[in-house]
Structure 1
Amino acid sequence: MAGQIPQRFIDDLLARVDVVEVVGERVQLKKAGRNYSGLCPFHQEKTPSFTVSADKQFYHCFGCGAHGNALRFLMEYDKLRFPEAVEQLAGRLGMEVPREGADDPRAQARERKRKEGVNLLELSASFFRERLKMPEGQGAREYLERRGLAPEVIDTFGVGYAPDTWESLKRHLGERGIGEAVQVEYGLLVHREESGRTYDRFRDRVMFPIRDIKGRTIGFGGRVLGDAKPKYLNSPETPVFRKGRELYGLYEARQADHRLERVVIVEGYMDVVALAQFGIRNAVATLGTSTSEEHLGRLFRLVNEVVFCFDGDRAGRQAATRALETVLPLMIDGRQARFLFLPEGEDPDTLVRREGSEAFQDRITCASPLSEFLFDQAAAGRDLARIEDRERYASQVLKAIGRLPEGVLRSLMLSELSRRTGVEAANFSALLARGEGVAGRESRGAQEPAAMEGGKGSAMSEPPPRGESSAALARRSGGALSLTARALQLLLHEPALVSRLPEEEDWCPEEEPDGVLCREVIRLLRAGGYRSPQVLLAHFHGSPEGERLAALARRELLIPKPARGAELEGLVAHFRRHRRRRSPQEEFDALLAREKAGERLSREEKQRLMALITELHR
Structure 2
Amino acid sequence: MAGRIPQNFIDDLLARVNIVDIIDGRVKLKKAGKNYSGLCPFHQEKSPSFSVSPDKQFYYCFGCGAGGNAIGFLMEYERLDFPQAVEEVAKLVGVDVPREAQIDSKTPSQRAQLDILDQVSAYYEEMLKGHSDNQRAISYLTHRGLSGKVAKFFSLGYAPPGWSNLLQRFADSNQKKALLEESGMLIHNEEKQSHYDRFRDRIMFPIRDVRGRVVAFGGRVLGDEKPKYLNSPETDTFHKSRELYGLYEARKLTQKLTRIVIVEGYMDVISLTQFGITYAVATLGTAATAQHLERLFKTVSEVIFCFDGDAAGRKAAQRALETTLPVIRDGLQARFMFLPEGEDPDSLVRSEGKEGFEARLDEALPFSEFFFKSLGDGVDMSTLDGRALMSAAALPKIQQMQNGLLQQMMLDKVCEITGLEPESISIHANLAPQTSATPDQPKQLAPKTQPPSRALSYPSKSKPQSTVSLCSHPISLLLHHPELVSKVESSEPLRVLNHTHIDTLIALIDYLKATPEASLGSLLIDWSDDPALSPLLLQLSEISRLDPILSEDANRLFDDAWERLQRDASIQSIAALQKKPFSTLSDAEKQQLRELSKLRTH
TM-score range, shorter chain: 0.5 to 0.7
Task: Give 1:520's match in structure 2, choosing from 481, 487, 493.
Answer: 481
- DSSP 3-state at the match of 2:133: helix
Identify unmatched segments of 5+ residues in structure 1.
Answer: 31-36, 102-106, 438-443, 451-458, 463-475, 482-486, 499-512, 524-535, 555-563, 583-589, 601-618
Task: Give 2:407's match in structure 1, choosing from 407, 410, 413.
Answer: 410
Query: Deviation of residue 424 (structure 1)?
Result: 2.7
Q: 2:409 and 2:424 mapped to 1: Cα distance?
A: 14
Q: 1:253 and 1:435 mapped to 2: Cα distance?
A: 42
8 Å CA contact 1:243–1:289 kept in 2: the answer is yes
Query: Deviation of residue 420 (structure 1)?
Result: 2.6
Could you say which residue in structure 1 is the equivalent of 2:204? 207
Task: Give 1:172's match in structure 2, choosing from 169, 172, 175.
Answer: 169
Q: 1:537 and 1:38 mapped to 2: Cα distance?
A: 32
**541 and 245 in structure 1: CA distance in 2 versus 1, 3 angstrom threshold:** farther
Could you say which residue in structure 2 is the equivalent of 1:542? 507
- DSSP 3-state at the match of 2:326: helix
Query: Deviation of residue 196 (structure 1)?
Result: 1.5
Could you say which residue in structure 1 is the equivalent of 2:155? 158
Query: Deviation of residue 597 (structure 1)?
Result: 11
Q: Which is further off, 427-436 or 116-125? A: 427-436
Query: Deviation of residue 27 (structure 1)?
Result: 7.2
Amino acid at match of 2:276: G
Could you say which residue in structure 2 is the equivalent of 1:128? 124
Task: Give 1:270's match in structure 2, choosing from 249, 267, 271.
Answer: 267
Does 2:327 correspond to 1:362?
no
Query: Deviation of residue 187 (structure 1)?
Result: 0.9
8 Å CA contact 1:79–1:214 kept in 2: the answer is no
Could you say which residue in structure 2 is the equivalent of 1:587? none
Q: TM-score, normalised by structure 2?
A: 0.64
Q: 2:376 and 2:567 mapped to 1: Cα distance?
A: 49
Query: Deviation of residue 51 (structure 1)?
Result: 13
Does 2:126 correspond to 1:137?
no
- DSSP 3-state at the match of 1:179: helix
Does 2:299 correspond to 1:338?
no
Task: Give 1:397's match in structure 2, choosing from 382, 394, 398.
Answer: 394
Amino acid at match of 1:542: A
What is the 5 A alignment of 1:282-361?
282-361=279-358
The CA deviation string for residues 339-358 of structure 1, in whole angstroms up to 9 with x for no partner, is: 01112332112222233332
Query: Deviation of residue 359 (structure 1)?
Result: 2.0
Q: 1:22 and 1:330 mapped to 2: Cα distance?
A: 37
8 Å CA contact 2:204–2:220 kept in 1: the answer is yes
Does 2:115 correspond to 1:119?
yes
Amino acid at match of 1:543: L
Query: Deviation of residue 328 (structure 1)?
Result: 1.6
Does 2:232 correspond to 1:235?
yes
Q: 1:22 and 1:236 mapped to 2: Cα distance?
A: 48
- DSSP 3-state at the match of 1:417: helix
Q: Which is further off, 427-436 or 184-193? A: 427-436
Q: TM-score, normalised by structure 1?
A: 0.63
Identity %: 37
Does 2:148 correspond to 1:187?
no
Query: Deviation of residue 126 (structure 1)?
Result: 0.8
Amino acid at match of 2:390: Y
The CA deviation string for residues 503-529 of structure 1, in whole angstroms up to 9 with x for no partner, is: xxxxxxxxxx99974973999xxxxxx
8 Å CA contact 1:275–1:349 kept in 2: the answer is yes
- DSSP 3-state at the match of 1:208: strand
8 Å CA contact 1:382–1:389 kept in 2: the answer is yes
Q: 2:362 and 2:235 mapped to 1: Cα distance?
A: 37
Q: 2:220 and 2:152 mapped to 1: Cα distance?
A: 17
Q: 2:66 and 2:301 mapped to 1: Cα distance?
A: 12
Query: Deviation of residue 98 (structure 1)?
Result: 6.7
Query: Deviation of residue 66 (structure 1)?
Result: 12
Q: Which is further off, 166-175 or 126-135? A: 166-175
Q: 1:303 and 1:289 mapped to 2: Cα distance?
A: 21
The CA deviation string for residues 522-563 of structure 1, in whole angstroms up to 9 with x for no partner, is: 99xxxxxxxxxxxx9999683327899x9xx99xxxxxxxxx
- DSSP 3-state at the match of 2:360: helix
8 Å CA contact 1:63–1:332 kept in 2: the answer is no
8 Å CA contact 1:50–1:63 kept in 2: the answer is no
Q: 2:274 and 2:97 mapped to 1: Cα distance?
A: 49
- DSSP 3-state at the match of 2:219: strand
RMSD: 5.9
What is the 5 A alignment of 1:489-528?
492-493=468-469, 517=478, 520=481
8 Å CA contact 1:63–1:334 kept in 2: the answer is no
Query: Deviation of residue 15 (structure 1)?
Result: 10
Q: 1:95 and 1:270 mapped to 2: Cα distance?
A: 40
Amino acid at match of 2:183: Y
What is the 5 A alignment of 1:351-500?
351-434=348-431, 445-447=441-443, 460=451, 478=456, 492-493=468-469
Query: Deviation of residue 430 (structure 1)?
Result: 3.6
Query: Deviation of residue 492 (structure 1)?
Result: 4.0
The CA deviation string for residues 445-503 of structure 1, in whole angstroms up to 9 with x for no partner, is: 442789xxxxxxxx9468xxxxxxxxxxxxx995999xxxxx9x9894499x99xxxxx
Query: Deviation of residue 176 (structure 1)?
Result: 8.8
Could you say which residue in structure 2 is the equivalent of 1:147? 144
- DSSP 3-state at the match of 2:306: strand
**537 and 429 in structure 1: CA distance in 2 versus 1, 3 angstrom threshold:** closer
**436 and 167 in structure 1: CA distance in 2 versus 1, 3 angstrom threshold:** farther
Q: 1:461 and 1:17 mapped to 2: Cα distance?
A: 52
- DSSP 3-state at the match of 1:356: helix
Could you say which residue in structure 2 is the equivalent of 1:586? none
The CA deviation string for residues 410-435 of structure 1, in whole angstroms up to 9 with x for no partner, is: 22222222223322334223433447
Query: Deviation of residue 381 (structure 1)?
Result: 1.6
What is the 5 A alignment of 1:548-563?
none
Query: Deviation of residue 95 (structure 1)?
Result: 11
